[in-house]
Amino acid sequence: MRNGLHEEAPFQLNLVLEELFVNTIRHGGCEGVEGSTRIELRALPAGVQVDFRDCGTAFDPTSAAPADLLQPLEERRGGGLGIHLVRQIMRDVSYRRESEWNHLSMTLPARPPE
- pLDDT tens track for 52-82: 999 999 999 998 877 666 666 566 565 567 7
Whole-angstrom distance, CA of residue 85 vs CA of residue 89: 6
Spans of the chain below 50 pLDDT: 1
Q: Is 108 exposed, middle or buried (0-12, 13-18, 19+ CB in 10 A)?
A: buried
Q: Is 48 exposed, middle or buried (0-12, 13-18, 19+ CB in 10 A)?
A: buried
Cα separations in angstroms, 96 against 12, 74, 106:
23, 33, 12
pLDDT at 52: 98
pLDDT at 76: 57
pTM beyond 0.95, yes or no: no
According to the CATH classification, is domain 9-109 in 3.30.565.10? yes
